[in-house]
């Protein structure tokens, strides 16, 4: 199975980290891949093998890690007001952006590191700028989205 997976060039070239557990005709894939398509394709490649009955795909793709970290940062009041860029490569998360205090910086790193899909955190954030409260923008009402019929037709009352 490993050879069949490594014959798929994108997995080999990205240095995917795939562990294969076999129990009868059930195969479990664990580890990390760079993209969501690689995760799906790895599962499909193994499922096509005649001796495989079921594939359990537990691979973690880097976009899943990025989404989890970004969501966690957005949900925490200490980091929500700041625009932080989140990148991941094989589970190693890199945080970039500007925060106003060391406490906010430490919170961002701690939040990212606490997630089970994160292997490590590289902190490239900088301290500077002014603290900003979290602000939620109101959505326009349906009436505000509708054009004024008189204005569109040019008719006057």
> Which residues have a Cβ under 8 Å from the Cβ of 45 and sit 6 or more positions away?
4, 5, 8
Whether residue 72 is found in the same domain as residue 121: yes
Structure tokens at 134: 């979290």
pTM for the structure as a whole: 0.74
Helix (H, G, I), strand (E, B) or coil at 86: strand
Residue 94: pLDDT above 80?
yes
Domain span including residue 49? 2-61
Alpha-carbon torsion (101, 107, 109, 112), positive or negative:
negative
Whether residue 8 is found in the same domain as residue 56: yes
Residue 139: pLDDT above 80?
no
pLDDT band at 10 (very low <50, low <70, confident <90, very high): confident
Whether residue 42 is found in the same domain as residue 84: no
Share of the chain above pLDDT 90, in %: 70
Whether residue 15 is found in the same domain as residue 38: yes
- The pLDDT value given to residue 156: 47
In this structure, the number of other CB atoms found within 10 A of the CB of residue 96 comes to 14
């Amino acid at each position: 199975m490993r050879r069949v997976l490594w014959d798929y060039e994108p997995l080999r070239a990205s240095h995917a980290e795939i562990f294969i557990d076999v129990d009868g005709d059930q195969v479990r894939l664990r580890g990390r891949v760079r993209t969501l398509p690689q995760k799906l394709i790895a599962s499909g490649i193994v499922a096509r093998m005649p001796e495989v009955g079921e594939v359990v795909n537990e691979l973690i793709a880097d976009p899943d890690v990025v989404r989890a970290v970004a969501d966690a940062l957005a949900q925490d009041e200490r980091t929500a007001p700041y625009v932080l860029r989140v990148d991941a490569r094989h589970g190693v998360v890199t945080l970039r952006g500007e925060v106003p205090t060391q406490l906010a910086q430490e919170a961002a790193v701690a939040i990212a590191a606490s997630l089970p899909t994160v292997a490590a955190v590289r902190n490239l954030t900088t301290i500077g700028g002014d603290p900003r409260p979290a602000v939620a923008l109101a959505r326009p009402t349906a009436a505000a989205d509708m054009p004024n019929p008189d204005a569109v037709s040019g008719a006057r009352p």
